[in-house]
Amino acid sequence: MARHFLADDDFSKEEVERIFSLAADLKSRPVQPLLPSKNVALVFSKPSTRTRVSFEVGMNQLGGAAIYLQTGETQLKRGETLADFAKTLSRYVQGIAARMESQAELEELASNSAVPVINGLTDRWHPCQALADLYTLREKKGQLDGLKLAFIGDGNSNVARSLIRLGAKMGVQVAVASPKEFAPGKDALKGTKTRVTANPKEAAKGADAVYTDVWVSMGLETESEARKKLLKPYQVNGALMKQAKKDALFMHCLPAHRGEEATNEVFSGKQSAVFDQAENRLHVQKAVMVTLMR
């Protein structure tokens, strides 16, 4: 049976450390033919800039190729089942990276796939993002153990939820500040020591990194107005950054809505690590593909 990466709990701490070491090696020598002639299908039902490009470029640098499949342009659009789709793809490609509407759809795809399936974002989790983010944090701070990461805003977003789980695994103290309507779900918090508060200053106090995500995730556009109203007090601005350590990083998964979840000044400021995070998606996902597909 193929091994999948569907959520943050699928790799052990030791495996994450091995992925980080391999990613560092791939970052210093990007072109290494570790997956020669292998193909990965990129099955996307939502837009993407980073995830798509980093998987495509990554696979090319590993000696293989990537095929981008927008689900609306496949026979899924005309009623082909996800099961038949997955079984068919498994006869052609050696791996699938998928961005689906829901975690349930991703799991349906994976349970019918004979090749590894990698989660490229669902409504529940964004595990490739969290891996790249903790890799970035470690790269900048030297180690992860005991660092404090404050997540401010939509505490139940896919990105927040993945950071909570991976942070707990890797020894990062995660504090979340969100309105109670957007507090992290019990399934994300289970077994972790995450501090959850409604007060952004309290969460940001003494943090090594202050992280935020968009207020309106893909698929939630109908809630746009209500979300923006509730989340307004959670904007990451210069005053909030001052609560954190002097050398704290500002982090964001991107795409950003400048002037909403964070000010332009914070996005473009010298503490901002957002483009390093984006770059590290490439190195870390290459390490994930090598781990699962070789």
* Footprint on this chain of ligand NVA (rule: CB under 6 A): 121, 157-159, 213-214, 217-218, 253
CA–CA gap between residue 154 and residue 293 (Å, rounded): 34
Give me the 160-199 binding string for ligand CP, x by CB under 6 A, dash otherwise: ----------------------------------------
Three-state secondary structure call for residue 140? helix
Tell me, yes or no, if 281 is annotated catalytic: yes
Tell me, yes or no, if 75 is annotated catalytic: no
CA–CA gap between residue 210 and residue 184 (Å, rounded): 17
Single-letter amino acid, residue 4: H
231 binds ligand CP (CB under 6 A): no
Question: What does the chain come to in residues?
Answer: 294
Identify which of residues 67 and 218 has a Cβ nearer to ligand NVA in the complex: 218
Identify which of residues 221 and 247 has a Cβ nearer to ligand NVA in the complex: 221
224 binds ligand CP (CB under 6 A): no
Tell me, yes or no, if 253 is annotated catalytic: yes
Min. distance of Cβ 157 from ligand NVA in angstroms? Answer: 4
Min. distance of Cβ 93 from ligand NVA in angstroms? Answer: 24
61 binds ligand CP (CB under 6 A): no
CA dihedral 96, 58, 165, 121 (to 10 degrees): -50
Min. distance of Cβ 37 from ligand NVA in angstroms? Answer: 31
Single-letter amino acid, residue 141: K
Helix (H) or strand (E) holding 60: helix 50-61
Whole-number Cα distances in Å, 79 to 18, 84, 85, 285: 40, 10, 10, 31
- DSSP class of residue 142 equals S
Min. distance of Cβ 12 from ligand CP in angstroms? Answer: 24
Tell me, yes or no, if 4 is annotated catalytic: no
Identify which of residues 70 and 88 has a Cβ nearer to ligand CP in the complex: 70
Residue among 126, 161, 165, 227 flagged as catalytic:
126
50 binds ligand CP (CB under 6 A): yes
Listed ranges 46-54, 78-86, 148-156, 231-239: which one lies at the site for ligand CP (CB under 6 A)? 46-54
In contact, 180 and 197? CB cutoff 8 Å? no
In contact, 273 and 249? CB cutoff 8 Å? yes
51 binds ligand CP (CB under 6 A): yes
Tell me, yes or no, if 187 is annotated catalytic: no
Tell me, yes or no, if 243 is annotated catalytic: no
- DSSP class of residue 30 equals -
In contact, 247 and 199? CB cutoff 8 Å? no
What are the DSSP E strand ranges found in the chain?
39-44, 65-70, 95-99, 117-119, 148-152, 173-177, 195-197, 209-212, 249-252
129 binds ligand CP (CB under 6 A): yes
Residues annotated as part of the active site: 99, 126, 129, 213, 253, 281
Residues contributing to the site for ligand CP (CB under 6 A): 48-51, 121, 129, 253-255
